[in-house]
């Protein structure tokens, strides 16, 4: 975290937010639930060490609608500036599978699994869990199978629109996640639909996972969001609104 703060200062960023994972399923190596008390101590330590940088706290809740008690326990530890809700996993034939594992499943119907994914995002949005921001809405496209027909937003338009409508109805913020500079998640098409369907606000995440990727892809992401009709915020930690 300290190296991430140093990197943020080096880049001239006015602020940084750490939204560590609170995952409650364990279907692959990288899933874990943040030790929230230890995490908040670390945030405080960084704030003391880097007084010129605004450091926001936060958490990314994975599938909070499957784990309401665990979610409440994490959020009860201390106030957080930014709470994201995300889906990484879907249930396929009764088994919990992370979208990154779909390509390892023999004979997987990628389109059907992706529809299942959007259905799960919709369920999460409608489950009344306490998060403000919808993270990486089209996460499965990051792990699209090489050689399969390419991922196209249009192919999932009805499902994505349902997700966006639910997000707008419940007052959520749409995250534009830059996948550490590799891919916009979601892309322009979806951000335009978001605006069209009444979405009020957008925020950015680089999903950096390491200090060298902080804010990677933000130039392109901000240009895209502005072109889709959202206005830059005057305060750099504020949301971009329509």
In the complex, the residues that contact Zn ion under the rule CB under 5 A are: 86
Torsion sign, CA atoms 64, 138, 15, 237:
negative
Residue 210, classified by CB atoms within 10 Å of its CB into exposed (0-12), middle (13-18) or buried (19+), is exposed
Distance CA 85, CA 66 (A): 12
Provide the minimum distance between the beta carbon of 62 and Zn ion in the complex, in angstroms, as a whole number. Answer: 7
Q: Which is closer to Zn ion, CB of 87 or CB of 195?
A: 87
Residue 194 has what DSSP assignment? H
32/223 with CB nearer Zn ion: 32
Question: Least CB distance from residue 46 to Zn ion, whole Å?
Answer: 22
Task: Report the residue number, 88 or 195, with the smaller CB distance to Zn ion.
Answer: 88
Residue whose CB is less far from Zn ion, 86 or 206:
86
Q: Min. distance of Cβ 84 from Zn ion in angstroms?
A: 8
Pair 226, 232: CB distance under 8 Å = yes
Nearest residue to Zn ion on Cβ basis: 86
CB of 88 to Zn ion, least distance (A): 6
**149 vs 41, 78, 190, 191, CA distance in Å?**
46, 45, 19, 23
């Amino acid at each position: 975290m300290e190296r991430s703060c140093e990197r943020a200062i080096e880049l001239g960023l006015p602020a940084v937010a750490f939204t560590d994972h609170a995952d409650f399923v364990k279907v692959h190596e990288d899933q874990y639930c943040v030790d929230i008390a230890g995490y908040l101590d670390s945030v405080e330590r960084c704030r003391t060490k880097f007084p010129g940088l605004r450091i926001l706290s936060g958490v990314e809740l994975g599938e909070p609608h499957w784990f309401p008690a665990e979610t409440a326990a994490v959020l009860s530890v201390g106030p957080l500036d930014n709470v994201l809700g995300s889906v990484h996993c879907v249930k396929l034939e009764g088994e919990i599978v992370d979208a990154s594992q779909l390509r390892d499943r023999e004979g997987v119907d990628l389109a059907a699994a992706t529809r299942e994914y959007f259905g799960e995002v919709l369920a999460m949005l409608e489950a009344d869990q306490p998060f403000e921001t919808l993270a990486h809405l089209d996460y499965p496209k990051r792990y699209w199978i090489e050689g399969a027909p390419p991922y196209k937003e249009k192919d999932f338009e009805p499902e994505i629109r349902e997700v966006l409508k639910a997000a707008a109805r419940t007052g959520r913020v749409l995250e534009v996640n830059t996948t550490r500079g590799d891919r916009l998640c979601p892309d322009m098409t979806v951000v335009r639909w978001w605006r069209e369907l009444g979405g009020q606000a957008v925020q950015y995440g680089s999903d950096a996972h390491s200090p060298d990727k902080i804010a990677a892809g933000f130039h392109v992401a901000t240009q895209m969001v502005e072109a889709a009709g959202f206005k830059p915020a005057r305060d750099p930690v504020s949301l971009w609104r329509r």
